[in-house]
Structure 1
């Protein structure tokens, strides 16, 4: 009875020492970084939506590539979402963060373990215990018991660590969403570049045929004494120049096909047959881009930076709580005997229970350095958050500007192509009639080739501006799906 009384008094004494310190523990006073309002960018966005009928403030689709209406692109996006190695690595990082959260949460729960042992020992005949009368014969000791322990998290040290680990798990999940956005954008961008190069190949091959016809015409005129060697040499040089351009475009086409294969985690040349020549997809007739206030909620990299900021705040709380005492309740119950047959007897029982108090007094500056480190990391997380938001606004503004510019450029290039086509027809007719030299034909044909190439390049750039726009808006993942997954994980835990 006296032993139990001493145990209760010791427990109450430890708690009495610790409880006054609870009132000294304060929640970390951390403010979120102040963000400037992009007023000029918002005005430019509003003007762009007003001027271009395709743009609207309807919610942006998560699978925005469907707007192009290209079945091949849709299939490639689906395959990349299932097999891309960057996505698989991001998924593994989520599992890693989930395991770390489980390890941190385990420290907040009671710990129970079973211990069993057997030892055979003997005292030395010259030991003090034997000289005092203890036996020196070998003896066996059998033990079996149950141990339990639980830390009282009075100042939130373990709670803050758990909050930090949970925020880092969320950051890993948003990191995977950011990879989804990047992969979806890379697949669409590479596919459109490929279709653009294939369109350029068609233009060059068509012009190669025209150039060869000009060679035959100049050679015929030279044989009849109408043309000079200059005309024939210039025509042959033009064919060689076009063939060199053709070889360059073929190399670009092969490299882009391999780039798509890599995004889908396939060996080189694996997609060559599937990616045969096809027309560049037309620009979508409608481009829903949502409202500006949704940007921070739709960009997973912003949400990831915000989660990392929350984790840094929790780390500060844990570092501050580490200055205070830590109390752990421990207990054990079991049996111990010299004979195995005596383990079941009531007289072999043993137990212990009581609190353990850890009070840091001198740590060589470790606790202060840890708090300073947490503060510095929080400032870095705040700067990273501001950078991410600012970069997002810049990317959206640049993408909208590129979209408007490419539309305007396409109109002018279309006009230039029409005029150059007329100029070539007039120059060829004049050369055949002998009223103009071959130089005018060569200049007109090169101008037409340049116009065709620029027009195809502009069409590709216009499509790429759409990809850049939806990539900047955070398209390629679903915030609703993320919230549903988070709710399911919470229910499961």
Structure 2
């Protein structure tokens, strides 16, 4: 069909509307503050989970290293006992020594072999746990260093208490407290009427080329007074609920801070005791090795019995094994202290968490 060159009647309408609420009672401000505090709290929770995972990975790494050290010690013990058994066998064939010596040495060798199997299982389990935490398939293939790292620098005296303010859980609890306070203010503001401004802008033309040429902006300023008559009971009840939530948030914040202080104190006290144990076991390790060597020489000379020799060997092995365990526990405790403080011993620009 043929279209007419010009429409006889044509009209275009364009209307835009907008509404702004006058925040006379602070309801909108409180709502925004609550939302922002909640978002920052969630960011802090994420940072806390990240820190916790880093601590778990670090501890698993240390445990894997120590487990392999214990395994090497167990295998070395088997080698030592094999040598002892061969010496006793040779002495027994020469008519020196007794079958009791030989059987006691064989029993110690068998126990050492069993310990190797146990250490293999422990090392494999520790390595697989590390691989799981790293998001790898637990195939017991990850390689770890042969020795535990050296202990970091000593703890400085007089760590400021406000250093705990960077802990993610404290940040989260603090933001939760702020959000709860803002929610109370918002609930109270809801008891008052909402006042809004409504604006309408419109154009009307009979020709297309005049659609956007008109510049007409008409404001309707009106007070939409919504008296909360029928919702008064519900709104007042919401205020009570939000106040209860605020008290709960205050209690939670207090509990988190106290718990954080306890974790720091425990870690500091534990380090002192572990350092004492570390020094004592280091001395015990050196003395036990020296005693075992002396016992071996005296046994070879016929001046000592097999029981003394085997006991000296057992003590030397036990002292070294315990020493490795204490050194790993020292590193674990330093990780605990790092987590308890929310970082190192000083707050620097690159250590401040941005939530």
Shorter-chain TM-score: what band? 0.7 to 0.9
CA distance in 1, matches of 2:190, 2:349: 38
CA distance in 1, matches of 2:140, 2:288: 40
Q: Please report how far the alpha carbon of residue 418 of structure 1 lies from its aligned counterpart in structure 2 after TM superposition.
A: 2.6
Q: Please report how far the alpha carbon of residue 309 of structure 1 lies from its aligned counterpart in structure 2 after TM superposition.
A: 0.6
Q: Match for residue 292 of structure 2?
A: 424
Aligned residues: 342
CA distance in 1, matches of 2:193, 2:171: 35
Q: Please report how far the alpha carbon of residue 143 of structure 1 lies from its aligned counterpart in structure 2 after TM superposition.
A: 6.1
Q: Match for residue 107 of structure 2?
A: 237
Q: Match for residue 343 of structure 2?
A: 475
CA distance in 1, matches of 2:289, 2:175: 57
Q: Please report how far the alpha carbon of residue 264 of structure 1 lies from its aligned counterpart in structure 2 after TM superposition.
A: 3.0
Note the 1:2-151 alignment, pairs <5 A.
144-151=14-21
**Structure 2: segments with no counterpart, 5+ residues:** 1-10
Q: Please report how far the alpha carbon of residue 352 of structure 1 lies from its aligned counterpart in structure 2 after TM superposition.
A: 8.6
Q: Match for residue 191 of structure 1?
A: 61
Q: Match for residue 204 of structure 1?
A: 74
**Structure 1: segments with no counterpart, 5+ residues:** 1-140, 487-493
Q: Please report how far the alpha carbon of residue 429 of structure 1 lies from its aligned counterpart in structure 2 after TM superposition.
A: 2.7
The TM-score normalised by the length of structure 1 is: 0.62
CA distance in 1, matches of 2:164, 2:16: 52
Counterpart selection for 1:169 from 10, 33, 39:
39
Q: Match for residue 262 of structure 2?
A: 394
Counterpart selection for 1:403 from 252, 267, 271:
271
Contact 2:164 2:342 in 1 (8 A): no
CA distance in 1, matches of 2:233, 2:112: 73
Q: Please report how far the alpha carbon of residue 482 of structure 1 lies from its aligned counterpart in structure 2 after TM superposition.
A: 7.8
Structure 1 residues 475 and 483 mapped into 2: Cα distance closer, same or farther (>3 Å)?
closer
Q: Please report how far the alpha carbon of residue 336 of structure 1 lies from its aligned counterpart in structure 2 after TM superposition.
A: 8.5
Q: Match for residue 179 of structure 1?
A: 49
Counterpart selection for 1:248 from 97, 118, 132:
118
Q: Please report how far the alpha carbon of residue 475 of structure 1 lies from its aligned counterpart in structure 2 after TM superposition.
A: 0.7
Q: Match for residue 8 of structure 2?
A: none
Q: Please report how far the alpha carbon of residue 173 of structure 1 lies from its aligned counterpart in structure 2 after TM superposition.
A: 2.7
Counterpart selection for 1:282 from 142, 150, 161:
150
CA distance in 1, matches of 2:58, 2:196: 57
Structure 1 residues 155 and 223 mapped into 2: Cα distance closer, same or farther (>3 Å)?
same
Contact 1:289 1:470 in 2 (8 A): no
Q: Match for residue 382 of structure 1?
A: 250
Matched residue of 1:145: which SS?
A: strand
Residue 173 of structure 2 corresponds to residue 305 of structure 1: yes
Residue 273 of structure 2 corresponds to residue 434 of structure 1: no
CA distance in 2, matches of 1:249, 1:270: 14
Contact 1:298 1:479 in 2 (8 A): no
Contact 2:343 2:351 in 1 (8 A): no
Matched residue of 1:278: which SS?
A: coil
Higher mean C-alpha displacement, 173-182 vs 209-218:
173-182
1:400-435 CA distance string (max 9 Å, x none): 111111111122212222332233223323332334
Q: Match for residue 260 of structure 1?
A: 130
CA distance in 2, matches of 1:478, 1:243: 50
CA distance in 2, matches of 1:479, 1:179: 22
Matched residue of 1:163: which SS?
A: helix
Contact 1:219 1:232 in 2 (8 A): yes
Structure 1 residues 446 and 484 mapped into 2: Cα distance closer, same or farther (>3 Å)?
closer
CA distance in 2, matches of 1:255, 1:150: 63
Q: Please report how far the alpha carbon of residue 170 of structure 1 lies from its aligned counterpart in structure 2 after TM superposition.
A: 1.9
Q: Please report how far the alpha carbon of residue 450 of structure 1 lies from its aligned counterpart in structure 2 after TM superposition.
A: 0.8
Matched residue of 1:357: which SS?
A: coil
Matched residue of 2:225: which SS?
A: strand
Question: Root-mean-square deviation (CA), in Å?
Answer: 3.3
Matched residue of 2:15: which SS?
A: strand
**Stretches (4+) displaced over 6 A:** 349-352, 476-479
Matched residue of 1:365: which SS?
A: helix
Q: Match for residue 319 of structure 2?
A: 451
1:322-377 CA distance string (max 9 Å, x none): 1111122234444799x998x96x9xx99894533322112373212321221121
CA distance in 1, matches of 2:351, 2:190: 34
